[in-house]
Structures are given as C-alpha cells and as structure tokens.
Amino acid sequence: MPNAGTSSDGSRIVRAMTPDDLDAACRILVDQELCDAEGLPQRLSATMEMANADYLVAEEDGVIVGVTLSVFDGFTSFASYVAVAPGAERRQIGGQMIGELIRRTQARDGKNIVVASWLSAAGFYRSMEFRMPGAVFLVRDV
Ligand SMILES: CC(C)(COP(=O)(O)OP(=O)(O)OC[C@H]1O[C@@H](n2cnc3c(N)ncnc32)[C@H](O)[C@@H]1OP(=O)(O)O)[C@@H](O)C(=O)NCCC(=O)NCCS
C-alpha cells in the first residue's frame, strides 16, 4: 500500500499528506507561484485520497516544509507540483520527497516518473537522475 510508507532524514519525515496539512501545503504551492490560491484547498482535499494519488509532505519538527503532488496511471507517476517552502531550498528537502516518490512508484510496480518542471528547476531533476528524452509537452487548457 504505497501511502503507508514514510521516509525520514534526521528530524525530517516525508509522508502522505493529510487534511491537517492542507493549509500549509497550499501556502507553499502559492508562495512558490505554482498554484493560484483560489479554491486550492478544495482541489487538494477532493483529490488527495484518490487511490492513485501520491500527495506527499515533508515535515520538520511539526512544520510542513515541502509538498509533492503526483498521480499514478498504472505505468507512470506524473508529478507536476513539487515545491519546498521559500527559504528552505537546497537543504535536500526536494530530493527526499522525490526519493520517497520513487519508492512509492516502485511499490506500485510502476515503470517511471514524469515531471512537468520549470526550466529553472531542471537541474534539480537532472541531479535526481531524470533525463530529457526530447519529448514535447503539450497542454490544452480546458
Ligand atoms: C525545485 C525545488 C523543488 C528543489 O528542492 P530543493 O529542496 O531546493 O532541492 P535539493 O536541496 O533536494 O537539491 C538537490 C540537488 O538538486 C540540484 N538543484 C537543486 N535546485 C537546483 C536549481 N535550482 N538549479 C540547479 N540545480 C538544482 C543540486 O544539485 C542539489 O544538490 P546540492 O544543493 O547539494 O548542490 C525547490 O527549489 C523549489 O521548491 N523551487 C520552486 C518551485 C519549483 O520550481 N518547483 C519545480 C517545478 S514543479
């Protein structure tokens, strides 16, 4: 059961998001300009308990310092929202969250993880052994 696992690194733990984490997780996503604030808690609470969702938070001493949203389609985990709290970058928080997502995707017998990333964060994913296969990312707004 992928949501059962957690990974810890010193006093930091990466675990499945719970309803109590919603406010802090939303704040990070908004502060890092990945999401609009309007309706965000409702969107997350409506989807976080889907069987194919891996919504993770990183917690340090009771404070939420990172969030990762990913969904699994039977082959691939798709992660499009990965962020750490402003000011907490480069402390391996993102790396620990991606490490936990890798573990959960393996536990689902998945084949790979695909991320949608700003170019500014591509170096982070490359450091986590992601490759750029030359695929084009197409978006249709609805
Ligand atoms: C991208 C992000 C999630 C990375 O998380 P992080 O906790 O800062 O990353 P880590 O500390 O785990 O970094 C691991 C390694 O990735 C690489 N890396 C991290 N950020 C990088 C960056 N901006 N540019 C290039 N390489 C980077 C480094 O090699 C780093 O190791 P080092 O610090 O020992 O040199 C975080 O910077 C963030 O929230 N950015 C704003 C939101 C965003 O752009 N999210 C991604 C798109 S969805």
- Residue range 37-61: average pLDDT? 97
Ligand 1 pocket test target in 124, 129, 130 with most atoms within 8 Å of CB: 124
Average pLDDT of every residue of the chain:
94
In this predicted model, what pLDDT tens digit does every residue of 78-98 receive, in sequence order?
999 999 999 999 999 999 999
Q: Let me know if 141 is exposed, middle or buried by CB neighbors in 10 A (0-12, 13-18, 19+).
A: exposed
Residue 5's pLDDT is what?
60
pTM of the predicted model, to two decimals? Answer: 0.94
CA of 128 to the centre of ligand 1 (A): 10
Burial of 114 (0-12, 13-18, 19+ CB in 10 A): middle
In tens, the pLDDT along 87-139 reads 999 999 999 999 999 999 999 999 999 999 988 999 999 999 999 988 788 88
Asked: is 2-127 a CATH 1.10.3720.10 domain? The reply is no
pLDDT value at 2 more than 60: no
Shortest-distance Cα residue to atom 16 of ligand 1: 124
> What residues flank ligand 1, with Cβ below 6 Å?
32, 34, 81-84, 89-95, 117-118, 120-121, 123-124, 127
The secondary structure of residue 70, as a DSSP letter, is E
